[in-house]
Structure 1
Amino acid sequence: MTTLMLVGATGLVGGATLRQAQGDARVSRVVALTRRPLPRHPKLENPLVISSTYPPMSVVGGGQRGLHPRHHHPQGGLAGGVPSGRP
């Protein structure tokens, strides 16, 4: 069985992806990070992300290389274990 991690599940494309994943027998679990709660579903785990805890967009990725797909961690580096000096 497959676990799918989905970011953007409240948007148009993310919502369609979520509905497909929930109806797909090959997907056993969907983890959807959102800012607001999603309707309950047996396959769905929906941790909420509080957007006010993130730094301004100009800080993300050091501001030199543009935006990085992961948010800047307050203690240094980027979330997900990627050091801040790497792209």
Structure 2
Amino acid sequence: MTRVADIQLQLRRTDPKKAKYDLLIQVDDSRLEKKDRTANEPVQFLVGRDKLRYEVVVNYVDKDRIRGYLSTPKDKVLAAERPQFRPE
């Protein structure tokens, strides 16, 4: 497992010919397994009590390595995925 920001990532399998990969994401106390994802396909998931939306995008798939980036929200208050209740 490789720690990146608030999450941990583990590469399970790669297929460079088809540009596909399997990835295990550990967030908080849960594990998410993403199978048969392709390069440049965004993988979104929610993190923390505030349900912040994180996104992993893999740009290159090599034999035993993937390269890409993790996108996190800049403003955590505005990015929370909670329903907004309006008093009537």
With the shorter chain as reference, the TM-score category is under 0.3
Answer 1 or 2: which has greater strand percent.
2
- Taking structure 1 as the reference length, what is the TM-score of the superposition? 0.25
> What is the TM-score with the length of structure 2 in the denominator?
0.25
Q: Which has the higher helix share?
A: 1
